[in-house]
A = this chain, B = another copy of it.
Amino acid sequence: MLDITAKVIENRLLSEKGRIYSLTLDSPELSKDCLPGQFYEIKVGGLDSRFLLRRPFSVAFCDDKTVTIRYNVVGAGTEWMSGITPGQMLDVLGPLGRGWPVDKTKKTLLVGGSTGIFSVLGAASHLGDKSRAVLGFRSCDLVNSVEDFKAFGVPVSIITEDGSSGRKGLVTELVKEELDKNEYDTVFICGSTLMMKSVAELLKDYDVDCYVSIEERMACGVGACMGCVVKIKADNEQGWEYKRACAEGPVFNAAEVIW
């Protein structure tokens, strides 16, 4: 975990309507230890900002010298981020948490919904053609990053809720079709709680390992405050315990999550 100030080299709009941006930091230090599925806590707002909390973002991909995150403008913090210009310095804490159990010997299905695609994009960058991605979006305006999956050698299927791009429907349909091919050892899912829960439900009928990346509200991001807990099965009297998404997660074994 590093606590550093890094220079932004790109803050590019990927989808006008969706207000999705790709932000790249020039930082060999940050990229060195970074694993797919991990995340960074980024300080948002100027010197006079009312924001106390940093914002968590998954690593989308890294190379030797840079780290890229991708984000959707959803509130005041990401609104501020959308105004960042190259050359600006950002305070970044990370990499944080435990990422995907990436294993190139295993055929992996990557399942992403809306901004959840960035976390699985990190896995795609490591797995390449050992993986395949099914990505769900609300509508075509929000479709982004598909070329990046492909550039990593990962075939992509798209489904949108309104059918404006790719097939029409929910991501679960595509997942079922893929699984029925009986090719996969592992599934990685990141998206809305509803989506992850329904995919995890579906997977009970298949003999595959399944991991989910859970986004909880965070304060510290490092495991110190118990703010970001997720209900996880445990070998105790009550059968469960609260685990920290930022420390024991954000990636959990789906079979252990109590939704």
A positions within 8 Å CB-CB of B: 44-51, 76-77, 79-80
Instruction: Assess whether A48 is in contact with B49, with CB atoms less than 8 Å apart.
Output: yes
Bound: A154/B77 CA distance, A: 50
CB distance from A186 to the nearest CB of B (A): 40
Q: Which residues of B sit under 8 angstroms from A44, Cβ to Cβ? A: 48
Residues of B close to A46: CB separation below 8 A: 45-46, 48-49, 80
- The answer on a CB contact under 8 Å between A76 and B47 is yes
Residue on B with the closest CB to A80? B48
Q: Which of B49, B76, B79 contacts A50 (CB 8 A)?
A: B49
- Most B CB atoms within 10 A — which of A48, A50, A79? A48
A86–B79 Cα distance when bound, in Å, is: 22
C-alpha spacing A44/B46, complex, angstroms: 12
Instruction: Tell me which residues across on chain B come within 8 A of A79, comparing CB atoms.
Output: 47-48
Cα A46 to Cα B81 in complex, Å, equals: 12
* CA gap between A57 and B51 in the complex, in Å: 27
A51 proximity list for chain B (CB < 8 A): 48
9 closest A-B pairs (Cβ-Cβ)? A50-B50, A45-B48, A48-B49, A48-B76, A48-B80, A48-B50, A46-B46, A48-B51, A49-B50
